[in-house]
Chain A
Amino acid sequence: MRLAPRTLALLALLALLAAVPPLAAAFAQPFYLDLFRRIMIFAIAAISLNLILGYGGMVSFGHAAYLGIGAYAVGALAHHGITNGFVQWGLAIGASALVALAIGAVSIRTSGIYFIMITLAFSQMLYYLGVSIEEYGGDDGMRVKTLSQFPGLVDLADPVAFYYLVFALLVVVLWVTDRVVRSRFGMVIRAAKSNEARTRAIGFSPYPYRLAAFVIAGAICGLAGALLVNHTAYLTPEFMNWTRSGELMFMVILGGTGTTAGPLFGAAALLLLEDLLQGWRVLPPWVRDYWQLYLGVILVLVVLFAKRGLAGLLPGGRDGDG
């Protein structure tokens, strides 16, 4: 069996991710465990965004809202003494799906620039809601004292166990989105993106399909939010900040839209770049202190000159063929 270059690249990256904990332990660099866990959590969020953005052509500029809802579901339950992980994560996913249904029902009626701005505005609305709830720390956020409890299964306080849980979920999410995209449902979504009029002409109304994809993406991102708040052990409305939505979009673009594994590469590239600009001792302080300036320039250059993202660097395959 011959594997396509991009499948090989994905398998190599997954093998690398699986090898991080023993390597970090061997070199006594627990920091990298933390960094790569963060990368995988954001990769899950970016993969969910890619489902609607890359395959569905719905440019959602408010996807961080579901990160926030997932995080708030876990944080709020923990605050009120409910620490069972299944309840917490179930609520995170369910609440995100429900909010995605409400936002999607209004937003998907519009398209293009309107869609971008409405999704942005809805996520800002939720951001300000988070800022104004004093019970959960308002603007400052609050510490989550007890992580989600999965008694007898996995202990999130153990960094390596938590790492492999995130890794397993990442693989599951990759597999599920790949199945969704290749299914009949996924074909309708992709068809509606490439030509809405023809999709209608062969008898599919895109609206319910798009809405369903929007809800699935929201639910997966809610799971990422539940992971993120356990990762930071801190709940803050900053999870929903619009710059976070921009970062998620950038991860998708950087990895190449409409490729299953692209967002994983994009998340890794962006977060490693951020980490490098902030913390690499070789760089002079005027780079490290103002790293966002350079990140901004790199972003502009990538958009202007690398149209197909990192995936475009690999031979074979066109946009949208999985």
Chain B
Amino acid sequence: MIGLVFEQALNGLQLGVTLFLMAAGLTLVFGIMNLVNLAHGSLYMVGAYLWVAFAKLTGSYVAGVLLALLGTLAVGIAVELVALRTLYERDHLDQVLATFGLILFFNELVAMIWGRAALYAALPAWLSGHVELGELRYPLYRLAIILVGLAVAALLWWVVVRTRLGMLIRAGASNRTMVAALGVNIRLLYTVVFGFGAALAGLAGIMAGPIYSVQPGMGELILIQVFVVIVIGGIGSIRGALAGALIVGMVDTLGRAFLKPLLATFWSPVVADTAGPALASMLIYMLMAAVLALRPEGLFPARA
């Protein structure tokens, strides 16, 4: 039982870091450009598809990952330049609708190129085994996701807090007019931030690809969970995104694994069978409602 809890906790951590990679980009783009980007999930999907395509083309997993990252970066920058740049000054409603249009566009575009059926791609041998963690045999690949995710989180913290680029990002978030007045090319800064947010989403998609199926619409499923993450954490705050991602990853995974048996011990198995899965899939939304009722600005609101 302890082993099972530990395994599910690791799965929760793995979902958590994936959510964080998505949430970091989304929350930065919102915090700095004041842009609601629904198409962030599409970049996740584009990353996964590009990885499958490049891995097949080059025959190498690592080359596939690197090319897919560059590809998603390029797609992100192109989207920013063509469509989103003009939306920064618009209200949220326009942003929601335009990026909703982009989602339709990207979903159909990948269906046009790669078909509507789900794609599966094999992992290389050196990533597909299991590791022994005490009593538990845990898939090596999931462990790798956790480690990569935590490393990227640390790197991101370093970039934002310790580098000149990070300083500009933070300055842009607090007062963009002043930053522009001081001679910083704010449009370039926006494009760079958006591109890196896209690459992070692409990385999340690349890593999720071998676990979940790669198919049109895969981005929306995670996008809405990411919304929950950044609302819980506080919009615009990277710390909040990390905390929210880990909380949501854990609650969702543990809820799906243990809510049903837990209900079965208190009520009848029939109740558990019907209410368990329903409650488990609603759990993170109820959590969000509770957080908002107590702290409408989220757990770690971005400093104004």
| Chain A contact residues, CB within 8 Å of chain B | 53, 59, 61, 106, 109-110, 112-114, 116-118, 120-122, 124-125, 128-129, 131-135, 242-243, 246, 249-250, 253, 257, 286, 290-293, 295-300, 303-304, 307
Contacts and interface: CB of A to CB of B under 8 A. Distances in A.
Interface in B230-262: 230-231, 235
Interface stretch (B3-11, B86-94, B158-166, B193-201): B86-94
A110 B93 contact: no
Give the residue among B92, B98, B101, B106 with the most A Cβ atoms within 10 A.
Answer: B101
B278 interface: yes
Interface string B212-238: 000000001000100110110001000
Given A120-B227, A249-B96, A292 B108 contact: yes
Contacts of A295: 101, 104
29 contacts: A106-B292, A117-B230, A118-B231, A118-B288, A118-B292, A121-B231, A121-B289, A122-B285, A122-B289, A125-B286, A129-B278, A129-B282, A132-B277, A135-B274, A242-B224, A246-B97, A249-B97, A253-B94, A292-B104, A295-B104, A296-B102, A296-B103, A297-B101, A299-B104, A300-B101, A300-B102, A303-B94, A303-B97, A303-B101
A150 to B, nearest CB: 33
Contact of A299 (B93, B101, B289): B101
DSSP class of A's interface residues: helix, strand, loop or mixed?
A: helix
Contacts of A121: 224, 227-228, 231, 285, 288-289
Contacts, number: 127
Given A297-B105, A299-B100, 9 more contacts: A118-B292, A121-B285, A128-B281, A128-B282, A132-B277, A132-B281, A292-B105, A299-B101, A300-B83
A293 B109 contact: yes
A290 B285 contact: no
B232 to A, nearest CB: 10
A61 B103 CA distance: 15
A113 B285 CA distance: 16
A131 B281 contact: yes
B292 A125 contact: no
A303 B86 CA distance: 10
Contacts of B97: 246, 249-250, 253, 299, 303
Contacts of B92: 59, 112-113, 116
A293 B106 CA distance: 7
A172 B10 CA distance: 56
State the 10 A-B residue pairs at the shortest beta-carbon distance, nearest first: A299-B101, A296-B104, A296-B105, A293-B108, A125-B285, A132-B278, A128-B281, A300-B101, A303-B98, A296-B101
B182 interface: no
B293 interface: yes
Contacts of A135: 274
A61 to B, nearest CB: 7
Interface centre among B87, B107, B224, B293 (most CB of A within 10 A): B224
Contacts of A299: 97-98, 100-101, 104
A119 to B, nearest CB: 11
A249 B293 contact: no
B30 interface: yes
A125 B279 CA distance: 9
A109 B292 contact: yes
Interface string B108-140: 110110000000000000000000000000000
A59 B87 CA distance: 17
A92 B5 CA distance: 42
Contacts of B111: 290
Contacts of B235: 113-114
A117 B98 CA distance: 16
A128 B235 CA distance: 25
A129 B281 CA distance: 8
Given A121-B231, A132-B278, A296-B101, A304 B83 contact: yes
B120 to A, nearest CB: 21
Contacts of B278: 128-129, 132-133
Nearest to B93: A59
A286 B108 CA distance: 11
A113 B236 CA distance: 11
Contacts of A303: 87, 90, 94, 97-98, 101
Contacts of A242: 220, 224
A187 B199 CA distance: 47
A55 B141 CA distance: 51
B153 to A, nearest CB: 22
B36 interface: yes
A114 B231 contact: yes
Contacts of B59: none
A303 B100 CA distance: 11
A290 B114 CA distance: 13
